[in-house]
Amino acid sequence: MSRNDHHDSLETRLKADGFSVIDLGFLDTSHVIAAYLVDVGSQLALIETGPSTCLDNLERGITAAGYDLRDVNRIIVTHIHLDHSGAAGVIARKYPNVRVSVHPVGAPHLIEPERLVRSAARIYGDDMDRLWGEIAGVPEDRVDLLRDGETLAVGKRSLRIAFTPGHASHHAVIFDEQSRTLFAGDTGGIRMPGSDFVAAPIPPPEFDPEAWEGSIATMRALAPARIALTHFGVYEDPAWHLDQVMPRVRELVAMGEAAGDEISDTTAMTRRFDAFQRRKIGDAATDLMMRRLNLANPDVLAAMGLERYLSKRGEGKA
């Protein structure tokens, strides 16, 4: 039996602990982006928002869980990449009671997202609206800065914050001390239901293997009983899962190093990355599996991330 196979009672246990997994149905595809609703007694918290293109699905998912988006008091985002936080400003504009918590380095880009949008547009071009929809600023007086190591009191819950760079310098994870659930964003890796393959998302410009290794140690030290991934879902083998991430990062760096001059050929490197993942996944690499994985962890971003990292190391072409 695959490690990925969930017991039927997992959803029941999550509900008992006050958690709901919201499948955002990104680009009409299930199991790509998750948001997590946390009922903390006197408050309702949302971990990750997804992009605005998923806002209707977010609202429907929250309603199906027995709540309403207007009742969310607190949004916490692991980092400001648009698949994690893109809808935060639109939600804040629509519901003036909500506060948004974010890493201090990411906060200015949530408040004034113009630079973030320009950076993303260089990568996604004409696909920006189709992928991400409207990107609005969060009012500065409703943004709260996370602090590394703090215990954030949200309702009846104590949520411990840990800064975990590697995927992005402004990445944070959230650890619910009561249920020992770790909301691991992207530094915790990517894993699609139906496969044991744990992917390491390595986009430009902040991919940092050395920092990432320290972040894995930080997450291990929390001793989680579960790991909740934005891409995608909740798993009850967190120690095994975390053990897969750094070997994957090192494999990808080695692939980039072996590419030689081809490292600057984004199309060729995209093909290499796709072939690498298909080989690792094996028989589970169905068309749907690869679509989900490539939406969560685009091949082209991995190619660009490797080139940028090796260029900074002096081994690639600028």
The pLDDT tens digits for 254-288 are 999 999 999 999 999 999 999 999 999 999 999 99
Judged against a pLDDT cut of 50, whether residue 5 lies above it is answered with no
* H-only helix segments in the chain: 10-16, 55-64, 82-85, 88-94, 107-111, 114-124, 128-132, 209-221, 238-258, 266-281, 287-296, 299-313
Judged against a pLDDT cut of 70, whether residue 214 lies above it is answered with yes
Look at residue 5 and tell me if it is in a domain: no
pTM of the model: 0.93
> Tell me, what's the pLDDT at 9?
82
d(CA 36, CA 230): 8
Please, which pLDDT band fits residue 314 given cuts at 50, 70 and 90?
confident
Judged against a pLDDT cut of 80, whether residue 318 lies above it is answered with no
Query: What backbone phi and psi angles, to 5 degrees, belong to 201?
Result: -80, 125
Place of tokens 């995608």: 232
Mean pLDDT in residue range 237-262: 96
> Tell me, what's the pLDDT at 8?
57
Look at residue 240 and tell me if it is in a domain: yes
Judged against a pLDDT cut of 90, whether residue 80 lies above it is answered with yes
Q: How far is CA 200 from CA 57, 105, 174, 177, 292, in A?
A: 26, 22, 19, 26, 14
> Tell me, what's the pLDDT at 40?
84
Share of the chain above pLDDT 70, in %: 96
Note the pLDDT tens digit of each residue in 147-171: 999 999 988 889 999 999 999 999 9
Look at residue 4 and tell me if it is in a domain: no
CA 204, 206, 208 angle in degrees (round to 5)?
115
d(CA 101, CA 106): 10
Judged against a pLDDT cut of 60, whether residue 2 lies above it is answered with no
**Residue 21 and residue 27 in contact, taking contact as beta carbons nearer than 8 Å:** no
**Residue 177 and residue 225 in contact, taking contact as beta carbons nearer than 8 Å:** no
Average pLDDT for the chain: 94
Residue 197, SS3? Answer: coil
Look at residue 2 and tell me if it is in a domain: no
Mean pLDDT in residue range 207-235: 97
- Tally of domains within the chain: 1
Look at residue 1 and tell me if it is in a domain: no
Range of the domain at 16: 10-313
- What CATH number is given to the structural domain containing 36? 3.60.15.10
Look at residue 318 and tell me if it is in a domain: no
> Tell me, what's the pLDDT at 185?
98
Look at residue 58 and tell me if it is in a domain: yes
d(CA 84, CA 160): 19
Look at residue 3 and tell me if it is in a domain: no
